[in-house]
Structure formats: C-alpha cells, structure tokens
Structure 1
C-alpha cells in the first residue's frame, strides 16, 4: 500500500496572512485529477489533549464514508480549518489528506490547543476608551479599575466557559458566568448563566456638548445587580440564534437624582426591569480575531421592561452587515454597515445609547458620546500587509502554547460616515446630532496570537480637526 500526502493546510503563522493557499507533496505518484472521486475512510484527530473529539467533529463538514471529488474535498478542508480556528480553542489547525488507495483517503486533523486556564490580574480604565481617559479625563488615575479575572476555557474539554471576575477601584464588581455550548446529543442547543454585582464611585449624570459629565463629590454613586439566563441554538456551522432573559436592579444616590431628574425618569433612585432579547448571527469570516475574507451579518431585537415593574418600557432593534474582500498583492478591503432604532421618543438618561458606546463609533469621534434614538453608520478600510512572520521563542519561554509568536503588520486608510437622530428634549448642546458626519484617516494594525490586535490611527473629522487614537481590538 502506497502512502501519499497529497494536500495540507498552512500553519497558524501563515494564517496571519489569512491565505488559503495549499502545497502538494508528491511521493512516487502523480497528483490526483481535480475531478477524481475520493472516498473518506477514517478521520483521525491528533493533538487534542483536552478537547473532546465530538467538539472538533462538530465543526467538520466532512464525514467518514463520504465521497467527493479531489477539488471538492480540498475546498472542504480549507473551510473546515477556518471553522475550527474560529472556535478560538486552538492556536493552530492543520488538515491533511492521506491517500490509501487510488480512490480512498484518510483525513488527519492536527490541532495545537490554546492555554485554557488563565487567572490574571488586570488594570484598566473606567472610561469608554483609552482616548477618552487620555484626553477628556486628563489621565486621572482615580478612574482606574483593577482586580482578578479567572477564565476557564474549554472546561471539561467541551468548549464550556467558566468566568469569574473580581474588581476594585473606580468600579467595584463581582461577576460569575457559565456557558455550555451544547446540552444535547445533536450539539445544537446550549445554555448560559450569569450574575454580577457592582458599585460605582462615580457615574455620568448628564451629557453636554457630547461629553459625559461626572460629579467628583461622591464615594458611591450607583449600585447594580444583573442576572442572566440564556439559550443558544446553532443549527448549522455558520448560524447562531440566542434568546436572553436578563434582570436589572439599579439604584443611584439622591445627589444623582437631584442633578438629573430624568436619569430614571420616575423621580426615583431605583430602576428594576426584565429585558428579553433575541439575536441572530450568520458568520462566514475566515478568522474572527482579524478577518480578511468572508462576510458576517447579525440582528438583535430587545424589549426592556416586560410589565412586571413599571420602571421602564423600551424597545430596541439593531443590526449590522460586514464584508471582507482580498484585493490581491497583499491588499484587503473591509466594510460594515450598522443601524440602530429605539422607541419611545423620550427615554431615561440611564438607558440611552448611540455612537461612541460599545465599540461603535465613527473613527475620529472617539472622544464624543452621541446619544440618540437611532443611527445609521458605515465604515470602510483598505489595508496592505507589509509584514508577516513567526518568531520561535521556545528557548526563552519553553511552553507549547506560547513558544511560537506570529506577527503581522498592516498599514491602512479608512473612511467612516453616519447620521444620528436625537430628539430628546432634556439633552441640550448636541451639535453633532441630526447631521451627516464623516471621519477618515491613516493607521497601522499589529496582529498576533490569542486574538491580540493593536491599532494606531490618525483620524480627521468633518470639521477638519484631527487626533491620534489607540485601540486594542479590530475596528469591526
């Protein structure tokens, strides 16, 4: 019996280029014809010290006994590698075909697992982003938060997540969360549970000129309790449904209520409500940490206030669609459109959102908080890969999960634009609302493993003002 490795998928270092190119190794035979029908005999999984085989097999579109042409099987291996990488369980995934006979092959799945238990101290800022703290808050070290995060990924080898969070500083918080992706034999249904308790030394009680206004005279401004029960349904590889029921119990001091009677809109200092939401995502990106090819779209509908308490009655609808296109010669295009709508017209200040919150802003407007009932925005980026390499540091750090450090660098140009509607009567001095906004600029992205992304951007706004901004995640 002749053994012939005919195709393999690139290593993780090459995947920083997000390339699907493959290489052929010949052993005493000619490469198979692309239309030749092949039957998969066995699928072998190697390197999964913790991850259960059924979690890996769940992501494969190839099954034992299935017959495909060489071209179809080759393309299926590429797609299956992307899906396995996007589980974020592995540093590296390689899929190979091994020819046993002329028309029979085995599939070898080799995985390099991540570091799944991560207890780590942390130090972060309380503000919406680093740039707000650096500029608007004058680098105030009283606005820092620190504590301990404990993540247990891939708990029991079943892709479960256990999360414990303990925080001191500007906001004191304790949070726990448990997520199990599959509770049934078909591996389609999952559950999530969570609870958090927090106390904040200070909160923004109003907005003036798109700047959040705080009072520095309080030692404790608010307290909140949040509970979560969620159901997840994944009927196919790329589609995810989620239904969440959350309970919120938030209280503020009399001082905050006196400064802004519209904070809860009931002249009280406490707000209780349930929120029921449904979300759907269809994700075909090549790599979720820093995609360069594929597309994604998602939508969410939420009702805040279910009639159990009279504190809130709010409806939200939001969605987004993104496209990532390789242009050739190391150039890439990425674009995304986002929309948000809420009702009624007058909403409590505590529940307002808009552009500048939750990693959604027009680049160049990082310092601006634009609350409103609705917005539309669209972002575009053209990037050029200028560097991609893997560094072996095993002699310095002889740990399997860290001894190879991939690094990729991209230069880019971008243009973002959008419109935010704000007819809220108690918010004054809002020159950026109800008008067309745009921002553009140049930047550099540094990408490494464990989904690390660092962005340095020089952006210009519609009025010609500019600034340099730092971010620690992908733009979209």
Structure 2
C-alpha cells in the first residue's frame, strides 16, 4: 500500500508539470482552510486599534510585498464587528497574488481596544524548470489535435520559470522549444519599481521558427501547405518580437498597462503564392510597432477557479504606428464576468466578450475572431470563425459534489506538494455569440454573420496548484455534437 501511495504521489507531480505548462500559470494549492482565527464577539471594546502586525513563514517573500495587499496597518482603528470580514478580504487578496499555498490571520487582543495581528503564510514552490510536450498555437486546443492527430505537430522543450524572483513578486521566464515550432524567449516582469508600489515594468524578447503555418481558412478550418513541409530547412515563418511595458496599480483590484511591442515576421514565398493576402503588401516580410492600453478590475474570490465576485477587462490596440506601412489596424475589446454563490454548493457564472476592429480589409496573418487565443464558444472548439467584430456570452451553473484534501506527506516529503486538494463540479452551460465578417471569404462563411449557440453538460476537476481539467459534451445549434476537453477554465 505504501508503494501505491508513492506511485500516486509521483503521478500527481507529473500532472502538475503538464497542467502548469497548459495553463501558463504559477502554482499553488487551492485555498482550503479557516482563513481568520478570531471571534469579534469576544472583544472587550467596540473599536480595535492594530498595535503590531507580525508575518510568519515568509522565508523568501519580502514583507513589503505582503503589506501591499493589506487594508490594515499598524495604528489604524476599526469597529470590532468589521475585523473578521476585513481580514477575510485581505486573505483573499494575498491568495490571489499566487505567492502562497495558504494564508492564516490570527487576531490577539492584548488589552481592551488594542490587538496584534499575526499573519501566517505558507509559501509556494517558486523555482519551476518544466519539461513539456505541447501543441503549437496554430492547433489552438487539444480538441483540434484529437480530431485529426498528427504527431509531427508536437513541440517539446523546457520552460524555466522563477516566480517571486528576489522575493518581490517578480517573474523571470525562459523557454527553449523544439519540434514543429522552435522558440527561444525571455521575459522579465517587475510589479513594483517605486516606493509606493504602484508602478511596474515588463520586458520581453522572442525568436521563433515554424516548419509550417496556416496560410488560409477553409470552412472554418486552418489549411496547411504540404509544399512547406517538404522543405523543413526553410521555415515557413520566422518571427522576432520584443516588448516593453509599464503597469500602474492604483488600488488593490485595478490595474492599468501600456505596452509597446515590435514584430518582424518573414514567411516563405510558397505561403504568399498560396494566399496573396497573407500580407497585404507585395513583400514576404511584415514589420510593425504596436501600442496597447489595457485596464482591468479583478474582484474574484480566487482567480484559479472563481466562485464569487466579478472581473472586467478592456483593451485598446493600434497595430502599426506609421514607422512601417505593412499593417494598420485599430482594435478594441472588452469582457465582463460575474460569479454567484447560490448556496448549498450551487454556483452560477456568466461572462460577456466583445471585439471590434478596423479597417474592413486586414491581412490574413493579422485577422482575428473566435477560436483565437483560447476564446471560443463551447461546442465550437474545432472551428475558427474570423471577422472584424464579434460578441459572445457564456453561462454556467455548477454543483460541487466533492471537496476534500489528501495528505501524501508520508510518500512526498516536499511540503509544497504533499497535500493535494480535489474538488469536483457537475455543470450545465449554454453559450451564444455572433461574428461579423464583411470580407468575402466564400470558403469560410458557414458560421459567420449568423447567430451561434452551443450548450451541454460537463464535469470540472479542480486540484492543487490551481489546475483545472474539464470534460464536456456539447451540442451546437446545427445539431452536431461531441465530447471536448480542456485544461483551463472557460472564463
């Protein structure tokens, strides 16, 4: 029995490495446990002044990073009936930094009207070298691969991520990838560069080569060229990107960002011969600068798998700033999601997304829609529905049927991995949307410019390190149906 436990433990570690790569998320356990150890009804005064704040367990994380998330501070006074709820929200904010496995608050009244706060944190495993086997961006999701498996499409490599670098919640990530797509990239983000901890910066660089690329979309499916595959020594696409970004976080929940990026893409002449509109200028090289502004507000309880709260996002981008005349596109997108706790283990979630772009004619390489960047209607995982604009709405009702922690400390000696929570949710869902496409793509108009709907039943497995595995069976409006799988939340 002991050996079986050891095998199970290593199996969980393997699943962790795969799920972290699939979601590109930092790791940590589910937020299970009593968050606040106090009882405001026993306080001897109607108001409590915070005398001292002690933080325990932060061997790597700087205390200033923890204090940045707190609404309490030494010397502040609060009504006693507000203390518990206030500390619950502060714990939620600390958990959503994804720096900790768990956070506990202990309130100790040292004398009437005065209390100490003890914050006990359990840090995550911050250094993660992850070997991985994955699919290129053109395949979009695992369902596309399962529908027509081609092992030549797989990419493999190693991703090294240092979370909480220098104990300041900085992130350093490097990728060396081979196979269908060769990629070498480096990204470094610093959330706070000022004493007030409101301003941050981000730097990134990437070089990639693709053996083959989709040169056209036919009946909402990417088309690849066999001619390009026959010449593996001449990549179908070679691309260099670089970016510099600035972030501003004025409050606990709201973040603003400005990013300036550069892209230089070179495609094989074969691609332009198959699709002259892949780029809209008579050249197989496309260069552009892009300036983006983003704003977001995140009030979800736990961002790995939210059950309560809401989130909104807005993004405005200008692709092409006049330095090069290869592309000129203006994009605006936004989303809003709300999560409701209905009680007795039932939860409801709804989300809306919108996207608008101009001009009407855009290079195929830069055309977007549903099916890109992990955004699709459930039931339409196999479809690419391109257009200058779209709107979509997703709705899910869930019932938690299982919620438990498993202790593998006897077989896994590493504290960050030996307690494994597992929650299981049954769910039903219905998604709807509309994609507007005014470019006469006669080969891909079956789903554009018409009402789309998908619905179905499924089950979600939520486990340690914010990992989610979804199994769903969906029906589309035209009556087609089938099973689908995913390693990320729907929204």
TM-score of the pair, normalised by structure 1: 0.94
1:187 counterpart (187, 197, 200): 197
Q: Deviations over 1:402-437 (max 9, x none)?
A: 111111111100010010001112453311000000
Structure 1 pair 272/79, CA: closer, same or farther in 2 (3 Å)? Answer: same
In the aligned structure 2, how far is the partner of 1:210 from the partner of 1:14? 38
| SS of residue matched to 1:237 | coil
Structure 1 pair 209/404, CA: closer, same or farther in 2 (3 Å)? Answer: same
Residue 5 of structure 2 corresponds to which residue in structure 1?
none
Q: Report 1:339-418 matches (<5 A).
A: 339-418=354-433
**Aligned: 1:15 with 2:25:** no
CA contact 1:93–1:109 (8 Å) conserved in 2: yes
In the aligned structure 2, how far is the partner of 1:474 from the partner of 1:100? 44
| SS of residue matched to 2:226 | coil
CA positional deviation for 1:324: 0.4
**Aligned: 1:50 with 2:66:** no
Q: Deviations over 1:171-205 (max 9, x none)?
A: 00000000010000000000000000000000000
Q: Where in structure 1 do 4 or more consecutive aligned residues deviate above 3 Å?
A: 12-16, 19-26
Residue 5 of structure 1 corresponds to which residue in structure 2?
none
Q: Report 1:118-157 matches (<5 A).
A: 118-126=128-136, 127-135=139-147, 138-157=148-167
In the aligned structure 2, how far is the partner of 1:429 from the partner of 1:225? 30
**Aligned: 1:167 with 2:182:** no
| SS of residue matched to 2:173 | strand
| SS of residue matched to 1:100 | strand
Q: Deviations over 1:306-358 (max 9, x none)?
A: 00001010000000001001000000011100000000001000001110111
| SS of residue matched to 1:82 | helix
CA positional deviation for 1:227: 0.3
Residue 341 of structure 2 corresponds to which residue in structure 1?
326
Q: Deviations over 1:278-316 (max 9, x none)?
A: 000011000110000000101000000000001010000
Residue 235 of structure 1 corresponds to which residue in structure 2?
250
Structure 1 pair 427/303, CA: closer, same or farther in 2 (3 Å)? Answer: farther
Residue 4 of structure 1 corresponds to which residue in structure 2?
none
**Aligned: 1:31 with 2:47:** no
Note the residue ranges of structure 2 that are not aligned, 5 or more in a row. 1-27
In the aligned structure 2, how far is the partner of 1:162 from the partner of 1:246? 18
| SS of residue matched to 2:129 | strand
| SS of residue matched to 2:485 | strand
**Aligned: 1:94 with 2:110:** no
Give the helix-richer structure, 1 or 2: 2
TM-score of the pair, normalised by structure 2: 0.91
Residue 270 of structure 1 corresponds to which residue in structure 2?
285
In the aligned structure 2, how far is the partner of 1:467 from the partner of 1:270? 40
In the aligned structure 2, how far is the partner of 1:275 from the partner of 1:24? 51
In the aligned structure 2, how far is the partner of 1:24 from the partner of 1:416? 43
CA contact 1:91–1:449 (8 Å) conserved in 2: no
Residue 11 of structure 2 corresponds to which residue in structure 1?
none
Residue 207 of structure 2 corresponds to which residue in structure 1?
197
Q: Deviations over 1:203-238 (max 9, x none)?
A: 000001101101123222010000000001001000
| SS of residue matched to 2:88 | helix
**Aligned: 1:450 with 2:465:** yes
Residue 3 of structure 2 corresponds to which residue in structure 1?
none
CA contact 1:207–1:427 (8 Å) conserved in 2: no
Q: Is the deviation greater in 217-226 or in 198-207?
A: 217-226
Q: Is the deviation greater in 94-103 or in 108-117?
A: 94-103
In the aligned structure 1, how far is the partner of 2:445 from the partner of 2:488? 29
Residue 294 of structure 1 corresponds to which residue in structure 2?
309
CA positional deviation for 1:103: 1.4
Q: Deviations over 1:45-89 (max 9, x none)?
A: 000000000000000010111111122111110110110000011
